[in-house]
């Protein structure tokens, strides 16, 4: 769904790489692979769930295992690349991602698939910051860099849509496992970048890895996601769920305290405590709750309730992607230099919330054109208004030396927000479906479909509430004025929405 901007080294005095445009092709392939895996598995998930006998409460882990590992390790991935060398880290990331994908494709059970998806996220966390870093050192001239980032941004923006359609095609005509196997040939092609990427310079000295910070952050986030997942079976008031949630929050509080005391923190607190940047990260994290919920639940609705084929399901999501691109590229990009950011972000969150609220009318016999399509357009249009300025202000006011970590934080917020949101809303949906079935005497196929719809509408209701709450918080917190004429609002291109 996105890509982060690593801090660019000073390359002003070095000769440009004569094979830099070919290098861009290989870097773009790696980025396409990362973005594909955020959406391609969604379309295959109903088939994979049936094949591997995955419960409704556990299905979200196929998505969150990837996003959680990806998001929580992004900042560390950038530091590892600094230490090992960018070209070397890029190749390690490619090989690891391909191996994890092959393992997932061959998974005989849910546990193996889960481990493979987590491994994909780990290597993606190394690959994503390295890819952007390589892009910045290969293209040092402003005009060429603009073209290169334009190509890269198009890949990031279009990759999600490609993943939806490709996932449908592979699932329908081959097997859901090919949604994972497809990464192997892509990675093999990208490995030829070894011959065109510039050689690594001597590894940076003095790089320290904040291992305690990594362990605290990952443990805390996993505890929260696991607690949300277990609530479907045990209830929100169970001792186990409460203990997991309290432990997760406690670990994250300790993480914040540790970050304020170590010399090279994983996440400098000054980055997130600024009102502008903090509001931008909050908007990003909460906005993707709505987008991830739509992808997950509408995929199941279309395939299980409406009996759409996987390909038709993928195509049915394209209007939402088009709405995002029109809103972010056609409207937000023109208004960002002219208006205060909250004048775009707050309406965007409210419009997306309206789209989620629209979906609460869903029935087992609802029409795609009359109900789903308008909701997709509303959510997509709102997301474009939110993400473009929020990503733009992710590096607002930071020194150039901190632009990379500020942008990485925005991407971390995106992945973590998607992880927690997916776990929370999936639990809400599964619980509502179970409660509905418990009240029915006859369990006919139509009743089973209606039980799914009951769960989906309950999750859409809470998704709408979360988005409206986010709009309220951002409206109160983000007091940033509109940019002054001729002054850029950001210090570095932070990210692209995909």
How far CA 232 is from CA of 59, 60, 248, 431, 434, in Å, comes to: 12, 12, 18, 5, 9
Look at 12-21, 126-135, 328-337, 464-473 and tell me which has the smallest mean pLDDT: 12-21
Q: Alpha-carbon distance 412 to 406, whole Å?
A: 10
Q: Alpha-carbon distance 24 to 22, whole Å?
A: 5
Q: Alpha-carbon distance 96 to 318, whole Å?
A: 30
Look at 97-101, 216-220, 392-396 and tell me which has the smallest mean pLDDT: 392-396
Domain ranges of the chain: 17-208, 211-263, 271-498
How many other β-carbons are positioned within 10 Å of the β-carbon of residue 277? Answer: 24
266: exposed, middle or buried (Cβ count in 10 Å: 0-12, 13-18, 19+):
buried
pLDDT at position 274 is 84
pLDDT at position 460 is 92
Q: What residue has token string 């940076």?
A: 204
Q: Alpha-carbon distance 49 to 196, whole Å?
A: 41
User: What's the average model confidence in pLDDT over 448-469?
Assistant: 90
The three-class DSSP label of residue 3 is strand
pLDDT at position 351 is 94
Closest CA to 161 of 263, 259, 344, 38: 38
139 or 93: which carries more pLDDT confidence? 93
Structure tokens, 261: 């005391």
Structure tokens, 18: 């004569």
**Residue 13 scores a pLDDT above 50:** no
**Residue 488 scores a pLDDT above 50:** no
Phi, psi of 458 (to 5 degrees): -65, -40
Q: Alpha-carbon distance 457 to 107, whole Å?
A: 32
270 or 142: which carries more pLDDT confidence? 270
Q: Do residues 361 and 374 touch, judged by C-beta distance below 8 A?
A: no
pLDDT at position 33 is 80
CATH topology for the 17-208 domain: Growth Hormone; Chain: A; (1.20.1250)
Per the prediction, the chain carries an average pLDDT of: 79
pLDDT tens-digit map of 22-77: 777 777 778 778 777 777 787 788 888 888 888 877 777 887 888 788 877 877 77
How many other β-carbons are positioned within 10 Å of the β-carbon of residue 261? Answer: 8
462 or 41: which carries more pLDDT confidence? 462
Q: Helices (DSSP H) in 53-141: which residue ranges?
A: 61-84, 86-105, 110-138
Q: Alpha-carbon distance 493 to 301, whole Å?
A: 37
pLDDT at position 401 is 59
User: What's the average model confidence in pLDDT over 174-200?
Assistant: 80
Closest CA to 129 of 80, 78, 204: 78
User: Which helix (H) or strand (E) is 495 found in, with range?
Assistant: strand 495-497
Phi-psi region of 478 (alpha: psi -120 to 50; beta: other; left: phi over 0): beta
pLDDT at position 372 is 92
Percent of the chain with pLDDT over 90: 13
Phi, psi of 274 (to 5 degrees): -65, 135
pLDDT tens-digit map of 271-314: 788 888 888 888 888 888 877 777 778 888 888 888 888 888 88
Q: Do residues 12 and 140 touch, judged by C-beta distance below 8 A?
A: yes
Q: Report DSSP state, residue 362.
A: -
Percent of the chain with pLDDT over 70: 83
pLDDT level of residue 2 (50, 70, 90 thresholds): very low
**Residue 203 scores a pLDDT above 60:** no
Closest CA to 255 of 222, 288, 289, 208: 222
**Residue 386 scores a pLDDT above 80:** yes
DSSP 438-490: HT-S---HHHHHHHHHHHHHHHHHHHHHHHHHHHHHHHHH--PPPPPTT--S-
pLDDT tens-digit map of 143-183: 666 566 556 655 665 666 677 777 888 888 888 888 888 88
How far CA 126 is from CA of 7, 31, 42, in Å, comes to: 15, 12, 23
pLDDT at position 378 is 93
pLDDT at position 349 is 93
**Residue 3 scores a pLDDT above 50:** no
Closest CA to 435 of 225, 224, 236, 290: 236
User: What's the average model confidence in pLDDT over 479-487?
Assistant: 67
Name which CATH class applies to 271-498.
mainly alpha
Give the pTM.
0.77
Number of alpha helices (DSSP H) and beta strands (DSSP E) in the chain? 18, 2
pLDDT at position 484 is 66
Q: Alpha-carbon distance 183 to 203, whole Å?
A: 29
**Residue 380 scores a pLDDT above 70:** yes
Structure tokens, 311: 């390909």
């Amino acid at each position: 769904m996105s890509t982060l901007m690593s801090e660019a080294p000073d390359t002003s005095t070095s000769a440009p790489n004569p094979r830099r445009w070919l290098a861009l092709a290989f870097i773009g392939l790696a980025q396409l692979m990362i973005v594909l895996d955020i959406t391609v598995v969604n379309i295959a998930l109903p088939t994979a769930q049936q094949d591997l006998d995955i419960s409704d409460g556990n299905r979200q882990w196929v998505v969150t295992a990837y996003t959680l590992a990806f998001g929580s390790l992004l900042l560390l991935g950038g530091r590892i690349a600094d230490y090992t060398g960018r070209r070397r880290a890029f190749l390690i990331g490619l090989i690891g991602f391909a191996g994890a994908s092959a393992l997932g494709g061959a998974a005989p059970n849910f546990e193996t698939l889960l481990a493979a998806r987590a491994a994909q996220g780990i290597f993606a966390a190394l690959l994503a910051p390295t890819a952007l870093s390589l892009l910045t050192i290969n293209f040092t001239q402003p005009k060429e860099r603009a073209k290169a980032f334009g190509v890269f941004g198009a890949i990031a923006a279009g990759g999600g849509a490609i993943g939806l359609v490709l996932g449908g095609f592979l699932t329908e005509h081959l097997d859901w496992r090919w949604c994972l196997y497809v990464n192997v040939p892509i990675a093999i092609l990208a490995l030829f970048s070894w011959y065109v990427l510039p050689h690594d310079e001597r590894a940076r000295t003095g790089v320290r890895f904040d291992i305690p910070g990594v362990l605290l952050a990952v443990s805390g986030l996993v505890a929260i996601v696991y607690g949300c997942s277990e609530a479907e079976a045990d209830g929100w008031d169970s001792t186990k769920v409460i203990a997991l949630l309290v432990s997760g929050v406690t670990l994250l509080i300790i993480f914040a305290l540790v970050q304020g005391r170590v010399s090279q923190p994983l996440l400098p607190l000054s980055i997130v405590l600024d009102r502008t940047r903090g509001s931008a990260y909050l908007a990003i994290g909460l906005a993707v709750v709505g987008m991830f919920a739509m992808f997950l639940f509408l995929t199941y609705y279309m395939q299980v309730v409406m009996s759409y084929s996987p390909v038709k399901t993928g195509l049915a999501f394209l209007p939402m992607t088009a709405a995002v691109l029109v809103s972010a590229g056609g409207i937000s990009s023109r208004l960002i230099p002219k208006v205060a950011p909250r004048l775009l972000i707050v309406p965007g969150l409210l419009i997306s919330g309206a789209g989620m609220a629209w979906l609460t009318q869903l029935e087992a016999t609802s029409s795609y054109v009359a109900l789903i399509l308008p909701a997709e357009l509303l959510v997509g249009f709102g997301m474009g208004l939110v993400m473009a300025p929020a990503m733009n202000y992710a590096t607002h006011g930071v020194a150039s030396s901190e632009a990379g970590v500020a942008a990485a934080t925005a991407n971390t917020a995106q992945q973590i927000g998607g992880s927690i949101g997916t776990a929370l809303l999936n639990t809400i949906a599964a619980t509502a479906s179970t409660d509905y079935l418990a009240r029915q005497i006859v369990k006919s196929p139509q009743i089973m479909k209606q039980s799914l719809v009951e769960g989906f509408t309950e999750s859409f209701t809470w998704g709408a509430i979360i988005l409206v709450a986010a709009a309220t918080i951002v409206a109160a917190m983000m007091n940033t004025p509109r940019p002054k004429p001729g002054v850029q609002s950001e210090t570095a291109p932070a990210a692209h929405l995909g």
